[in-house]
């Protein structure tokens, strides 16, 4: 009997000493604020131990096309003669592309639709679709006849140094993301969208807590982190 009890006691002591294992939560989304155009798929990743948020980070995979913001990877050079190229908001877009072995068609309103998975943004903002999209490294741009024009890299905001060389504030884009991450880590995610506001200086706040971020889409990141946290604690 002693041979059984002693190992059990040891396991109990170890579990009390080290606590529960950290859980990871991941959520995917795009900008959904009025006046803001989606230009990337945002991935929020958090780690939670014993119900406490211990790490939070954001990274962003560029979308193929966008009305504004970061440049889409399905944009063509201004002098491209590709058949069926779309001219949208001063940009020339490939009418179709192959991504992950699937053909996707681009509409004039920038909606992208796949032969299998349907509307792109609707698919990639799911857990399955988001994980799939972040695994894609390249795509084949096509003309209206289905001929491959070129192979392009499916980049990230980090890879193109988005908002690094120019931004509306000294924080730059990476500084804003860091400020949001730090704010969430320090204050947690016990908030709702109706608590978001801005100070006279232009910093986003949650109730009485003021962040160091001025980025227009800050609420998107805050809500995605909350979603990722909820997924982690539900495991």
Compute φ and ψ for 52, nearest 5 degrees.
-100, 135
Provide CB contacts within 8 A for 55, sequence distance 6+: 45, 46, 47, 185
Say how far apart CA 41 and CA 99 lie, in whole Å: 15
Q: Are 211 and 179 in contact (CB under 8 A)?
A: yes
Q: What is the pLDDT along the chain (235 residues), one digit of tens a residue?
A: 445 454 544 444 444 445 568 899 999 999 987 767 899 999 999 999 998 999 999 999 999 998 888 889 999 999 999 999 999 888 899 999 999 999 999 998 889 999 999 999 999 999 999 999 999 999 999 999 999 999 999 999 999 999 999 888 899 999 999 999 999 999 999 999 999 999 999 999 999 999 999 999 999 999 999 999 999 999 8
Domains of the chain and CATH, by start: 19-61+160-233 (3.90.1010), 74-153 (no CATH)
Query: Among candidates 109, 120, 118, 117, which has minimal Cα distance to 30?
Result: 120
Task: Give the pLDDT of residue 7.
Answer: 53
pTM, two decimal places: 0.89
Task: Give the pLDDT of residue 1.
Answer: 44
Say how far apart CA 112 and CA 105 lie, in whole Å: 6
Task: Give the pLDDT of residue 141.
Answer: 98
């Amino acid at each position: 009997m002693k041979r059984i009890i002693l190992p059990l006691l040891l396991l109990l002591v170890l579990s009390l000493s080290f606590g529960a294992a950290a859980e990871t939560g991941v959520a995917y989304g795009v900008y959904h604020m009025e006046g803001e155009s989606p230009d990337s798929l945002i991935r929020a990743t958090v780690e939670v131990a014993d119900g406490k948020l211990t790490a939070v980070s954001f990274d962003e995979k560029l979308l193929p096309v966008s009305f504004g913001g970061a440049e889409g990877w399905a944009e063509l050079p201004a002098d491209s003669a590709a058949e069926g190229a779309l001219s949208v908001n001063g940009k020339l877009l490939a009418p179709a592309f192959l991504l992950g072995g699937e053909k996707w068609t681009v509409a004039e309103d920038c909606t992208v639709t796949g032969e299998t998975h349907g509307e792109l943004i609707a698919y990639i903002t799911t857990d399955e679709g988001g994980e799939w999209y972040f695994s894609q490294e390249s795509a084949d741009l096509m003309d209206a006849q289905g001929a491959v024009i070129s192979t392009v890299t499916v980049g990230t905001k980090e890879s193109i140094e988005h908002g690094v060389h120019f931004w509306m504030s000294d924080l730059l884009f990476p500084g804003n993301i860091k400020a949001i991450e730090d704010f969430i880590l320090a204050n947690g995610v016990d908030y709702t969208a109706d608590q978001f506001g801005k100070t006279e200086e232009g910093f986003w706040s949650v109730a009485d807590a003021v962040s160091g971020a001025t980025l227009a889409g800050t609420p998107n990141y805050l809500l995605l982190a909350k979603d990722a946290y909820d997924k982690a604690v539900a495991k």
